[in-house]
Chains A and B, each alone.
Chain A
Amino acid sequence: MLKATKKRFDIKILVANSTVSETFELEKNIVKVHGVLVTSDKDDLLYYRGTQKIEINKEEFFPDNYESKLLMSGINVSPKQRYYDLGGVAPGNGRVQILYKDLDDGRTVFAPYRVSLYLDCEMEDEL
């Protein structure tokens, strides 16, 4: 039986104007990735300063310099609609890569922050 599940992966941005690349692995029983969402513990910094590239199974879904604000949803959006719809992607080897870039913006002062990547997945109950 298939059931919906949400996955969260975190990266830390410790230095201003830095690039952080991380690869995460999904469980083998995940059969589809339906959506993606990014959040942060300091969401103004993510909103104004962040850009990222996201790859799933070595396939690029969001290219380099794609702004994080375009993948964020505020609390005004109903919880079921917060994820950016990818349309049910097969995860293949299950590797999810994020290449996150922090860039100065005149409206913010840098402080170390966390970026969380959420994936809306569908998994098989039993392998």
Chain B
Amino acid sequence: MMKEGVIITKISIKQKGERKHFQIKLPMDTKFIIGVEYGGRLIDKPETVVVEPAPDDGGHTPTFFKRNQLIGELKLQSCEEANWFYSADVLANDVNLGLADFSKAGFPVNDFTHGNKRTEEIVKIDAESTIIQGWYLDALGKSVNADIKYEVNVYVWINVEE
């Protein structure tokens, strides 16, 4: 019988434009890699840096579309296969959740109150090799020209034979 599991890998970023190569070790009985998702945590926030745009305070019209903060780029590759099997822009919270909300009902729109359910991105990769090569490039520090300390967590969902 197949069972699902998840492997969590932390990538720690300390400098602007930092590039990290990392490996994710899968259990020997892994059959497939079935999904990937990511999360993160800001460890140190320099005073001058605005990491996330504030929720819409009425300064713009509710239909004004804002750009999400790009945190970095993440790519994963299985040792058995050529080319990346997962490549994603790591983004901060969705700042357009309140787009076209004209109610101004005193209930500010945030990811933690109005956010959608988070689900992993589905991939289907043979796990004959138990090592995944990963690559991450910081964009947050570069965009504000400062060293920002943060962690990115990479979640690799796997199918394990019981």
Question: Which of A25-33, A65-73, A118-126 makes up part of the contact surface?
Answer: A65-73
By beta carbon, the residue of chain A nearest B7 is: A63
Query: In the complex, are the beta carbons of A66 and B155 less than 8 A apart?
Result: yes
Indicate if B130 sits at the interface (CB-CB under 8 A): no
A106's closest neighbor in chain B, by CB?
A: B45
B21-61 contacts to A, CB under 8 A, are 37, 39, 41-45, 51-52
CB-CB under 8 A from B7, the residues of chain A are 63
On whether the beta carbons of A106 and B8 are closer than 8 Å, the reply is: no
The CA of A71 and the CA of B52, in the complex, are separated in Å by: 22
Cross-interface CB contact of B41 among A77, A84, A103, cutoff 8 Å: A103
Chain B: residues with CB nearer than 8 A to chain A?
A: 5-8, 10, 37, 39, 41-45, 51-52, 97, 110-118, 150, 153, 155
Q: Identify the A interface with B (CB < 8 A).
A: 43-44, 46-49, 62-67, 69-77, 81-82, 84, 103-107
Q: Name the 7 nearest CB pairs between A and B, nearest first.
A: A106-B45, A47-B112, A106-B42, A74-B115, A67-B39, A74-B114, A43-B112
